[in-house]
Structure 1
């Protein structure tokens, strides 16, 4: 089965989800710097979700670049990743409106964790279907596993002691794991 239609579909869904994110931002009650500052947690939630989804897209792009073949199991796993990713505008809005609320942060964290879990499973599906890409995918799976562990810790902390921990764990993984691993992947690709 050709991968091009699946990649185009994935790109379209992620583009729509990222666009909806900005539409969920509130306007300041007063158009002043203090009015804008009052929404800083909303802007943080938006930026973090936008770049997290962008990082997901870059990761999928890098992984799918050398894939030769996909099967129905890959299509379904990709659809499940997109399902969880499609909930980002909703959970981002909840966190924007209730930044220090444990329920809002845990819901956000659950969406992040489930998107990551199914992204990891999607990666494993691609390895099964494209064994020649095993080494490249192992690198990605290693980073996704570490990424998932940090997000799970953030989710537990959100649930128990510090509500914003879920969102900050996403920020931590984006800055410390996801972005650097994508840079390393692209450098490895240039060597070949």
Structure 2
């Protein structure tokens, strides 16, 4: 299989996931500002998931042009990444409906962490196959930033389980901002 076919498949699946996210948004019980305000957790969960998936897509888009070779492991890792990513609409809806519930937050955060780790494994696989691309743990993102990203998510998970359920989404938001605004390595 050529990389173009795999990239096109990934693009299509991620686009479908992002579309399903918006279809899961709840409608207000009364169509007024207070009815919309009552759904703020839904909108926040949707926006966080949409932009997190968009960030992942942009990272792949910005780095896969350097890939010359893929193998069966690349395909397998991509399928696993997409499988766990396909759970975003479900876990997002759980967080949206049960924002202050530790179980919903931990499930959502666990999927985010698994997808993050799958991205790291995929990047390491591509680095092995394409040494000239100079990929690190997560493409061109410095290793310290990847480690901080994962640490923030794990701390959010721990706090979410113990004392403050919404810590999970807040840690994901902070980790996402870190990945967006930190300059990439040269």
TM-score tier after normalising by the smaller chain length: over 0.9
Partner of residue 75, structure 1: 75
Partner of residue 56, structure 1: 56
Number of residue pairs aligned between Structure 1 and Structure 2: 184
| Higher share in helix | 1
Partner of residue 4, structure 1: 4
Partner of residue 22, structure 1: 22
Partner of residue 107, structure 1: 107
In 1, Cα distance between equivalents of 2:71 and 2:84 = 21
Please give the per-residue CA displacement for 1:72-92, whole angstroms capped at 9, x wherever unaligned. 101111111111111000000
Runs of 5+ consecutive residues of structure 2 not aligned to the other structure:
none
Seen in structure 2, the aligned counterparts of structure 1 residues 56 and 32 have a Cα distance that, compared at 3 Å, is same
In 2, Cα distance between equivalents of 1:116 and 1:141 = 15
Partner of residue 179, structure 2: 178
Partner of residue 132, structure 1: 132
Within the alignment, does 1:167 sit opposite 2:169 as a pair?
Answer: yes
* Deviation, structure 1 residue 178: 1.6
* Deviation, structure 1 residue 135: 5.1
In 2, Cα distance between equivalents of 1:54 and 1:135 = 20
Residues 18 and 53 of structure 1 are in contact (CA less than 8 Å); yes or no, is this contact kept in structure 2?
yes
Runs of 5+ consecutive residues of structure 1 not aligned to the other structure:
none
Q: Which TM-score applies when normalising by structure 1?
A: 0.91
Partner-residue secondary structure (3-state), 1:65: helix
Partner of residue 119, structure 1: 119
In 1, Cα distance between equivalents of 2:158 and 2:102 = 10
In 1, Cα distance between equivalents of 2:142 and 2:123 = 7
* Deviation, structure 1 residue 117: 0.6
In 2, Cα distance between equivalents of 1:20 and 1:139 = 29
Output the aligned Cα RMSD.
1.6
Seen in structure 2, the aligned counterparts of structure 1 residues 55 and 45 have a Cα distance that, compared at 3 Å, is same
* Deviation, structure 1 residue 60: 1.1
Residues 120 and 145 of structure 1 are in contact (CA less than 8 Å); yes or no, is this contact kept in structure 2?
no
Residues 154 and 168 of structure 1 are in contact (CA less than 8 Å); yes or no, is this contact kept in structure 2?
yes
